[in-house]
């Protein structure tokens, strides 16, 4: 073999070797641990569900799924980390869709929400409860609206913050019912619940959960309505806002699994199938139902369509209401 031929042979061999990592990734994914970012603090329902999914997928796929909590800025810090990761299937996130639908409408995100992510699968819908506190004598949604019409700006409605789903719910109710109430924004749900139990305002909107259900059953809070696809099994007597004629205010938090943009289709299909399989297991499903969350699932394409529709709706509400970022 001539020196030239030998050199060509070596170059061909090197080119083949250089191509192997990509080919191997395409054929054997996952071949190493997968990183699952949760853009919220430990201990909440999103963290618990993410860890259940991680355990299920690790057992099925033969590689660890390592959960990392990266909380802050309404989920945008953790999702920003995901946006900067390679689109190779080894960095994922479990998040609400609000960092892609609400935060971008306020113009304060470190990523291109439309292109930086691949929606993998919807996991759950977390209902939003509308509750009356001891400061209010109303016992149903119609009474609330009647009182608000008779006494403009006397009903104080607390939410977990500006442009939260609860705030958007308030704006939609005010617009549709032609009433005026006072928005009381908090910096999260903890202090909001404490002040609700102390009767510091008349009503609040907050994500459903077992602790709130206990307060409702004990009479410390009174459920007026819920934003959800259907009534909650734990509170079957509480109507949805859609049932009450306020479909635009029937908002709930949707959570799912995300990857960086341009995820290879074969990996996307595998991940979507595994998430849907996890949602059919009794362990994951019961954990969701026990916390008043509704399992969802479905195709990646449908999840992407839902996010796009929600982003358009949220932007329209935020513009119409003149909601500004803090």
- Please name each of the domains of the chain with its CATH number: 31-125+253-321 (3.40.190.150), 127-249 (3.40.190.10)
Q: Are 284 and 48 in contact (CB under 8 A)?
A: no
What pLDDT, on the 0 to 100 scale, is given for residue 11? 40
Q: Are 251 and 169 in contact (CB under 8 A)?
A: yes
Rounded CA-CA distance 54/94 in Å is: 10
Q: Are 54 and 65 in contact (CB under 8 A)?
A: yes
Q: Are 108 and 270 in contact (CB under 8 A)?
A: no
Tokens matching residue 269: 């299909």
Low-confidence ranges of the chain (pLDDT < 70): 1-27, 163, 188-189, 324-326
| Interval 105-116: pLDDT, tens | 988 799 999 999
From residue 76, alpha-carbon distances to 37, 79, 156, 169, 296 in Å are 12, 5, 29, 21, 23
Rounded CA-CA distance 96/75 in Å is: 8
Q: Determine if the pTM surpasses 0.85.
A: no
- Partners of 182 in the beta sheet? 156
Rounded CA-CA distance 264/245 in Å is: 43
- Partners of 287 in the beta sheet? none
> By three-state DSSP, how is residue 120 classified?
strand
What pLDDT, on the 0 to 100 scale, is given for residue 45? 77
Q: Are 140 and 234 in contact (CB under 8 A)?
A: no
Rounded CA-CA distance 216/16 in Å is: 65
What pLDDT, on the 0 to 100 scale, is given for residue 27? 59
Cis before 130? omega within 30: no
What pLDDT, on the 0 to 100 scale, is given for residue 325? 64
Tokens matching residue 152: 């403009």
């Amino acid at each position: 073999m001539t020196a030239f031929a030998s050199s060509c042979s070596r170059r061909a061999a090197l080119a083949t070797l250089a191509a192997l990592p990509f080919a191997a990734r395409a054929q054997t994914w996952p071949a190493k641990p997968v990183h699952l970012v949760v853009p919220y603090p430990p201990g909440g329902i999103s963290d618990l569900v993410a860890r259940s999914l991680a355990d299920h997928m690790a057992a099925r796929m033969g590689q660890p799924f390592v959960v990392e909590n990266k909380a802050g800025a309404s989920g945008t810090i953790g999702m920003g980390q995901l946006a900067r990761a390679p689109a190779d299937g080894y960095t994922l996130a479990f998040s609400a869709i609000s960092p892609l639908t609400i935060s971008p409408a306020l113009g304060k995100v470190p990523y291109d929400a439309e292109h930086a992510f691949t929606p993998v699968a919807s996991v759950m819908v977390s209902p939003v409860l509308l509750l009356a506190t001891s400061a209010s004598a109303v016992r149903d949604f119609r009474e609330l609206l009647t009182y608000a019409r008779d006494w403009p700006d006397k009903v104080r409605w607390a939410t977990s913050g500006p442009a939260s789903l609860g705030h958007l719910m308030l704006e939609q109710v005010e617009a549709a019912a032609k009433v005026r109430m006072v928005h009381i924004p908090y910096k999260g749900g903890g202090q909001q619940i404490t002040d609700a139990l102390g009767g510091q305002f008349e009503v609040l909107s907050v994500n459903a959960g077992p602790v709130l259900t206990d307060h409702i059953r004990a009479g410390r809070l009174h459920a007026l309505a819920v934003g959800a696809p259907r009534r909650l099994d734990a509170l079957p007597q509480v109507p949805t806002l859609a049932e009450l004629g306020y479909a635009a205010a029937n908002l709930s938090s949707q959570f799912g699994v995300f990857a960086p943009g341009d995820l290879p289709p074969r990996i996307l299909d595998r991940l979507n199938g595994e998430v849907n399989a996890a949602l059919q297991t009794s362990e994951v499903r019961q954990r969701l139902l026990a916390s008043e969350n509704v399992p969802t699932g479905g195709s990646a394409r449908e999840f992407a369509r839902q996010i796009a529709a929600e982003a358009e709706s949220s932007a329209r509400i935020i513009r119409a209401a003149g909601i500004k970022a803090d």
